[in-house]
A and B are shown apart, each in its own frame.
Chain A
Amino acid sequence: MSFDFNLIAESLPLMLMGIGITLKLLVISGALGFILAVCLLLMRISGRWYLNFPAQVYIYVFRGTPILVQIFIIYYGLPQFEGVRDSILWPILREPTGCAILALTLNTGAYVSEILRGGVLGVGKGLLEAGSALGLSARQKFIYITAPIATRLALPAYSNDVISLLKSTALASTITIADMTGIARTIVADTYAPYEIFISLAIIYMIFTFGLQKLFGVIERYLGRYTRREG
């Protein structure tokens, strides 16, 4: 078997044309998923069963099913319902990109909310007692004590999830989206050269991941500045 470097040189620029879409999927569903995760977290820790329970069910459903299945259900399944086609969300759900973003958002939100909850549970009880003793309200304690400390504690696991989300975006190619993976699959179908194309694609994802790792490393060092004895 020969390895065709010319083919790689030709297809790399084509695959890189999909970067925009891959990034769009990552950034939008990452941001919306984070907001969803915070809402789910607040429901989980509210201490009220009628908020906690639905959040738990939601998390169970979205962690308990493959994301590919979730994408298919949203893309192929939802338009079956007339109510969906008549709703104001139809312009989004009509487009495969909208469906992919929705699926990725709903999925990452479930995982990230549990990651954040881990951070919240890691905040020392004594600190919250000190807050109470100083007269801070429950909301003030959450905003000024729990949230900043939990964020730092949750960051390593959160960065893991963002990297995982980056690779989940490749699944969008299964519903006709021309992200990097989608373009790669088209090229493979034309050239019948899966090794060259998919290996170069893998390397592109690795470079991306490397960038994300570095970015989170910087954030981690910044948020962890108060954990080092040396000023």
Chain B
Amino acid sequence: MSDENNRPLIQMQGVSKFFGEFQALKNINLEVRRGERIVVCGPSGSGKSTMIRCINRLEEHNEGHIIIDGNELTDQVKDINAVRREVGMVFQSFNLFPHMTIVKNLMLAQQLVRKISKIEAHTTAMQYLERVKIPEQAGKYPIQLSGGQQQRVAIARALCMKPEIMLFDEPTSALDPEMINEVLDVMVDLAKEGMTMICVTHEMGFARSVADRVIFMDAGEIVEEAQPTEFFDNPKNERTKKFLSQILTH
């Protein structure tokens, strides 16, 4: 294998992040290989979201290095844009553009960022809407869709940009229970196709069946990192045990 294939797709080296006095991330070291599926969990305020938001520069890290596919994230707009082109993100609150129809939501960045023609962007948009199983909603506005449908559109919108990496920031936390599975199904399909994924989620069933590694964070640190069976059946750290006992009681 060439050097390029051996190199981790995501490298975080000694990353720290401060919000004023508060240290949200403490010396984070993380490497993610191409095709790996990582689930990040931990109590609220533990820095999970902040960590993945640093990867596409929605948050700026204060210390350490973040290198995505060989591009180090710096203050340079050029570097940030290069990284953002490769990294798709799905948010807890969907964040679809409310004033655009579904298909326009999927076409916008293709046309503006990838400079793809309108016709081609439309074709790609419809392909991905088929994949998330809602092509019939293409002409509607986001508000006319259910939460689960909106989140599937958001996933499709990110996929239209053909990213190397997908970040999921609690994608099912804002959904009614009956809609969670339709979103997880899409994510499972994506994982099967070999997409590199980092998912912040508390869906432990998803973590168990899909993740290559589960990362547990607390107070801005990575406390434990293990394969899912090991992580769930034999957690090492006291904080991990306590967290798992709290979320797996019912």
A76 CB-CB contact with B under 8 Å: no
Q: How many positions in chain B have a CB within 8 Å of any CB in the partner chain?
A: 30
**A226: which of B88, B98, B158 is its contact (CB, 8 Å)?**
B98
Question: How far apart sit A226 and B104, CA to CA, in the bound complex (Å)?
Answer: 13
A130 CB-CB contact with B under 8 Å: yes
Q: How far apart are A183's CB and chain B's nearest CB, in angstroms?
A: 44
Give A132's nearest chain B residue, CB to CB: B58
Q: How far apart are B166's CB and chain A's nearest CB, in angstroms?
A: 11
**A129: which of B88, B95, B154, B157 is its contact (CB, 8 Å)?**
B95
Give B140's nearest chain A residue, CB to CB: A231
B89 CB-CB contact with A under 8 Å: yes
A144 CB contacts on chain B under 8 angstroms:
97, 108, 112
Question: How far apart sit A125 and B193, CA to CA, in the bound complex (Å)?
Answer: 32
B93 CB-CB contact with A under 8 Å: yes
A155 CB contacts on chain B under 8 angstroms:
none
Question: How far apart sit A231 and B140, CA to CA, in the bound complex (Å)?
Answer: 7
Q: How far apart are B128's CB and chain A's nearest CB, in angstroms?
A: 14
CB under 8 Å from chain A, chain B span 83-122: 84-85, 87-89, 91, 93, 95-100, 108-109, 112-113
B144 CB-CB contact with A under 8 Å: yes
Question: How far apart sit A131 and B97, CA to CA, in the bound complex (Å)?
Answer: 9
| Interface size class of chain A, counting residues whose CB lies under 8 Å from the partner chain | 20 to 34
A140 CB-CB contact with B under 8 Å: yes
Given that A129-B58, A226-B143 are contacting pairs, would A134 and B157 also be in contact in the complex, using a CB cutoff of 8 Å? yes
Question: How far apart sit A231 and B84, CA to CA, in the bound complex (Å)?
Answer: 34
Question: How far apart sit A149 and B141, CA to CA, in the bound complex (Å)?
Answer: 14
Question: How far apart sit A130 and B237, CA to CA, in the bound complex (Å)?
Answer: 35
Whether the Cβ atoms of B91 and A129 lie closer than 8 Å is yes
A133 CB-CB contact with B under 8 Å: yes
Instruction: Give the A-binding residues of B (Cβ under 8 A).
Output: 56-58, 81, 84-85, 87-89, 91, 93, 95-100, 108-109, 112-113, 140-144, 154, 157-158, 161
Instruction: Give the B-binding residues of A (Cβ under 8 A).
Output: 124, 126-127, 129-137, 140, 144-145, 148-149, 152, 225-231
